[in-house]
Every structure is written in structure tokens, then in C-alpha cells.
Amino acid sequence: MNFQELKNKLVNQLKKNLPFVVYHKPNSPNIVALLENSTQIYPVEYSEQGFAMIGFNNPKLAHFIRLSQAKKINSPYLPNQLDFQSKNQPIKEKSIAKSSYENKIKQSINFIENTKVEKVVFSRKIEVESQQNLVQAFENLLCLYEDAFTYLWHHPKLGTWLGATPETLVSLNRNRLTTMALAGTKLASNKAAENWGSKEKEEQNYVTKAIVNELKKYSEKINIGTTSSKKAGKLLHLHTPITAQINPSDLAEILKYLHPTPAVAGFPKKEAVDYILANEAYERKYYTGFLGEVNFPQEVNKRKHRKNQEFTAVQPRIPLTELYVNLRCMEYDNQRYTLYVGGGITKESKPSDEWEETKNKSQTMLNVL
């Protein structure tokens, strides 16, 4: 189906107020949509096939689109045929004031200096009134962020979210789990971008250490790759790939321990989460939760098996699980887009830099409105 037809389906689904997700995985040749025809909420089942959406910390915020019950649509991802349209109007933002946010960051640094907590990921939200059409905003995300996981997700009882995240939580192919430690942020245009400071290196290292520690409980074979800069829109992050051999039936439990990683909560986890819940003063909902495909059958490559033979062989379908951390995202409600942006705070953080970082991160979403 071409993208124009797919958009019509999405508009129709929104009109009927029925749940759906539409997404593009990093560098994938396809855009995928899953349309549901009932508004019932289903718990996430890692033994089933479907699309999971899970909130940061509230167990009520979760839904599983079961593949067997959804209409699946594939549309080729053709960047040249996508139409970028922004509203080009001054955007009115409503957010906590700079000085108040910097005070919150100072308090967080103070907390870190006086407790065993070493890192806390603090965030703020920005409300934007915009006439931008929701499906157009998604199309714009597709235009701008080819190597991110871009999505639009809607459930009439749970909300409407869209975003372009650079962060994989886990991907699982048979018994090979791949994840990443992603933290530390700079503008990609910054000439000194490759010279990461000790603050960024340290905050990213907490993430690597914590992920490896959790995985050790389930794997004897863990490989930590080399750390490099990963581009996410106009930003750069420090990125370390991590792989582990696991028993696929352990996935649900591994996720329970892995999420939220210190990339989005802090370290040690429990204390950092408690601090966030007590001090951020709003609910993160799906921001810093995770979403993606669970046991998804891969597209079949038909190919001629042998020369001069008529039959085509079908490749075995290996189900894949690919979950992404819900970052660079926003919630939509009645012409209001609420953006969520945060950053890792350590004892070395500078409050004004943290404000700038959230401003830079918000640009990923503001660009599409």
C-alpha cells in the first residue's frame, strides 16, 4: 500500500477513535501499521506476537496490540515521496521557568552529593499549542529521522503519542540479545563534539555498568563493544553496544530488571526512581517507557532456491523482538502537543547546561510541528 493510502487509513482510524500504531524502524525499507477494531486493553505477553507499549512506572499504562487481532499494513519507506509540512508559525511553549528548572537541578545535585545516589535523570515537559495535523507530524518525523525509531501510537483510553527515539532497549534474535548504553549529549554541530568531557563519560559509564550487571544474572556470554558517538537528529550521544546470549524465555524477567536503565532513571535504580517520582511533579506516563515489536515474524525473502528449478524457497521466519526506549516523544491531545525532555544529572552537572540540553532535545519534536 502506498503511504497516501496508509495515511487515509490512519485518518479513518482516528475518526472512529480506534487504537493503532504506525512506525518505521531505523533504516527499514517499510513503514508498518497495526490497526485494531476494538478498544479493549490487553496486557503485554512476551510469549505472544504483537506490539507492546509500556509506561515508565505506572502498571496501568500498558497495552499489547495482538498481531492475530490487528490489521497489518506495510507501506514502502520512500523518503523522496514523503511530504514535509511544518506550520511555520511562532510556537508558544509553556514550561517550567528556566530559573525554577535550574533550581530543581541544583537540588538534584545536592541530593547526589548527600546520598549514595550517583545519577538521576531529571526531566521537564513543554506544552505546545499547535494546529499541526497529527498524521502530518508523524510524516514529518519520517522525513527528518530516518535512522531513529519513529512512531505514532493511539489508544482512545490510554492516549496518543509520537516520537523519534535513538535508543534501543533490547533487540532479541533467537538467543542473541542486543542492547545499548546511551547517554551524554552534545550538539552535533559542536566542533569539539568528539571530545567528550568527564561528566558525559561518567554518566554513560553508569549505564554500561548497570546494564552489564543486570545481564550477568541471565547470561554467561556478554560482549561490550567500543564506545563511540551516535547521531540523533542534531544531537550526539555516547553509545556502547552490548550483546548477550540469553535464554529467550527469560526476556520478560530481564526487561523487568533492565527497565528503567540509568539512561532514563539513574543509579542506583530504586533510589533514583523514588527521587524522580517525588520531585518531578508530574507523571511521565509513556515518556521513558518503552515500545516495539514482540516476536514479530520477519518479512519473508522469496528467492530462487537453485538454478533451473521452478520452486522458490521460503526462508525460515525467525521471530524478532525489538523494543525502543520512548524518548524524544510527545503526547497529543486536542491540538496540544506535550513534549517530554530530560537529561542525566551527576555531581558534575551545571544547571544552565542541563536547561540547554533539554532545549536542544525538544527541538527534535518542535521541528515537526
Measured CA to CA in angstroms, residue 126 lies from 63, 151, 201 at distances of 25, 19, 28
Residue 347's H or E segment, with its range, is: none
Least Cβ distance, residue 167 to ligand ISJ (angstroms) = 6
Spell out, one character per residue from 198 to 237, where the chain touches ligand ISJ: x when CB under 6 A holds, - when not.
---------------------------------------x
- Asked if 206 contacts 118 with a C-beta cutoff of 8 angstroms, the reply is yes
One residue of 143, 264, 272, 339 binding ligand ISJ per CB under 6 A:
264
**Is 344 one of the binding residues for ligand ISJ (CB under 6 A)?**
yes
Q: CA torsion, points 139, 140, 146, 147, in degrees to nearest 10? A: -110
Looking at beta carbons, which residue is closest to ligand ISJ? 344
**Is 239 one of the binding residues for ligand ISJ (CB under 6 A)?**
no
**Is 182 one of the binding residues for ligand ISJ (CB under 6 A)?**
yes
Q: Which span sits near ligand ISJ by CB under 6 A: 20-28, 37-45, 109-117, 181-189?
A: 181-189
| 3-state SS, residue 138 | helix
Which of 367, 55, 21 lies closest to 162, judged by CA?
Answer: 21
Residue 209's H or E segment, with its range, is: helix 198-216
Task: At 250, give phi and psi (nearest 5°).
Answer: -85, -5
Residue 10 or 325 having the CB closest to ligand ISJ: 325
Q: Burial level of 25, CB count in 10 A (0-12/13-18/19+)?
A: buried
Quote the CA–CA distance of 167 and 263 in Å, as a whole number.
Answer: 10
Residue 123 or 367 having the CB closest to ligand ISJ: 123
Q: Which residue has the cell 494546529?
A: 131
One residue of 206, 328, 346, 349 binding ligand ISJ per CB under 6 A:
328
Residue 45 or 271 having the CB closest to ligand ISJ: 271
**Is 6 one of the binding residues for ligand ISJ (CB under 6 A)?**
no
**Is 185 one of the binding residues for ligand ISJ (CB under 6 A)?**
yes
Return residues touching ligand ISJ (CB under 6 A).
121, 123, 167, 182-185, 237, 263-264, 327-328, 341-344, 361
